[in-house]
Chain A
Amino acid sequence: MSEDNQGDLWEVFIQPKPGRPHKHAGSLHAYDKEMAMKSARDLYTRRQEGVGIWIVKAEEIISSQPDDSESFFDPANDKIYRHPTFYKLPEGAKHI
């Protein structure tokens, strides 16, 4: 018998309701796109969890590296003026 092959790893994103963003639900194994889509439906929406599914091959995902995360994200550290709470408002100003 040939070597066991359980197929490729895919990541599944579910849109819970119209208008909401797709959110990572989990992973699955499948041999092609159609099988991945049917398995995602059976595996992650058995209880009406979604109205939409995105699937992407796990190997296609580009991810930041935890080891570099401090220096990678630090450009945002000294820019607190990007938050509305940074600003001083005159006494009595409303609706701003």
Chain B
Amino acid sequence: MEDAKKLEEFQAKIDADIKIEPKDWMPEKYRQNLVRQISQHAHSEIIGMQPEGNWLTRAPSLRSKKILMAKIQDEAGHGLYLYCAAETLGVSREQFLKWLHEGAAKYSSVFNYPTLTWADIGAIGWLVDGAAIVNQVSLQGTSYGPYSRAMVKICKEESFHQRQGYEIIADLSKGTEEQKQMAQDALNRWWWPSIMMFGPHDGDSAHSNQSLKWKIKRESNDELRQRYVDKTIHQGEILGLTFPDENLKLNEQTGHYDISPIDWDEFWNVVKGNGPGNRIRLAHHIKAHDDGAWVREAAIAYRNKMNAKSKIA
């Protein structure tokens, strides 16, 4: 009975747009849902550094190298904000990393695609970050305080990411025929993965309804996906690029773009670990983690030594 009353009070707070804070009572399912979503988000930021890091040494100018470095550093920061937000739910950083390494936790499937050319770095910024921003702007209004605050910070920093990507694509599309082709090829390969970033259709999404009721998410997958498509088409068209979808068309009645059916077999195949980069991404993260073990041990030994010293003095 106690729980039913608490649940009712909890929902009343949510309905009144009062943020939930770490020490507040919350339903166990709410907590679990957030643990899953925020940690998945954090892992995505960290794993997302890999496809970009692939081009750091080969960025075409010092300017682009500096910018790419700053962007990757931001992604690390975003991952850390999010891990800290997730940890307020009573799960340790060590545990989150363990779940990632065991394959129990997911990260965004889009990072399992390879970055084959420099134009892919442009496409990631323009399309992948562009899609992420649509989602993250909406999540600023999430009901869990620490998650919401992390999102506000991330959104402020993220808009440079999308512009740097779009600038790369714009420069290439104004370049030689070969460069233009490179931009088009990147768009062809990244368009559908970026659309799939919003997840399954509303009717097929396992966590959607409850997440919306609890305001963990503020808008549905399909609403966010449509917003992303609507704002992106024009950006591609003014560069003279075409989208790899023969059914893409502005629907005069709805005022929105219609797209072809999404290839969900491809989506689930990559989610289940069979994408082009799943094994490499995870193996690389585990290796970096293991290779860094001695650094953590040394840092702990140093701290213990300094603590002992300060006690003597």
A6-B97 contact given A1-B290, A26-B149, CB 8 Å threshold: yes
- CA distance in complex: A4, B299 (Å): 12
Q: Which residues of A contact B299 (CB under 8 A)?
A: 7, 31-32, 35
- A4, closest chain B residue (CB): B94
- CA distance in complex: A27, B77 (Å): 11
Chain A CB within 8 A of B17 CB? no
Question: In the complex, how many angstroms separate the beta carbon of A30 from the nearest chain B beta carbon?
Answer: 8
A46-B302 contact given A26-B150, A27-B84, CB 8 Å threshold: no
Q: What are the interface flags for A1-31 relative to B under an 8 Å C-beta threshold, 1 for contact and 0 otherwise? A: 1111111010000000000000000111101
Q: What are the interface flags for B61-103 relative to A under an 8 Å C-beta threshold, 1 for contact and 0 otherwise? A: 0000000001001100100110010010000111001100000
- CA distance in complex: A2, B94 (Å): 12
Cross-chain contact of A43 among B80, B290, B296 (Cβ < 8 A): B80
- CA distance in complex: A7, B303 (Å): 10
A43-B77 contact given A1-B293, A2-B297, A4-B97, CB 8 Å threshold: yes
Are B94 and A46 within 8 A (Cβ)?
A: no
Chain B CB within 8 A of A92 CB? no
Number of interface residues of A (CB under 8 A): 23
Are B302 and A28 within 8 A (Cβ)?
A: no
Q: Which residues of A contact B25 (CB under 8 A)?
A: 66-67
Cross-chain contact of B87 among A1, A9, A47, A65 (Cβ < 8 A): A9
Report the number of A-B residue pairs with Cβ-Cβ less than 8 Å.
64
- CA distance in complex: A3, B70 (Å): 32
Chain B CB within 8 A of A85 CB? no
Question: In the complex, how many angstroms separate the beta carbon of B71 from the nearest chain A beta carbon?
Answer: 11
Cross-chain contact of A66 among B23, B84, B97 (Cβ < 8 A): B23
Q: Which residues of B contact A46 (CB under 8 A)?
A: 70, 73-74, 77, 157
- B88, closest chain A residue (CB): A27
Chain A CB within 8 A of B178 CB? no
- CA distance in complex: A74, B225 (Å): 47
Are A6 and B94 within 8 A (Cβ)?
A: yes
Chain A CB within 8 A of B153 CB? yes
- B98, closest chain A residue (CB): A4
Q: Which residues of B contact A3 (CB under 8 A)?
A: 94
Chain A CB within 8 A of B24 CB? yes
Question: In the complex, how many angstroms separate the beta carbon of B73 from the nearest chain A beta carbon?
Answer: 7
Question: In the complex, how many angstroms separate the beta carbon of A24 from the nearest chain B beta carbon?
Answer: 9
Are A66 and B150 within 8 A (Cβ)?
A: no
Are A31 and B23 within 8 A (Cβ)?
A: no
- CA distance in complex: A47, B24 (Å): 33
- CA distance in complex: A30, B232 (Å): 40
**Pairs across A and B, CB under 8 Å, 29 listed:** A1-B293, A2-B293, A4-B98, A4-B296, A5-B94, A5-B296, A6-B97, A7-B296, A9-B84, A26-B81, A26-B84, A26-B149, A26-B150, A26-B153, A27-B84, A27-B87, A28-B80, A29-B80, A29-B93, A31-B299, A31-B302, A32-B302, A32-B306, A35-B299, A43-B77, A43-B81, A46-B157, A65-B23, A66-B24
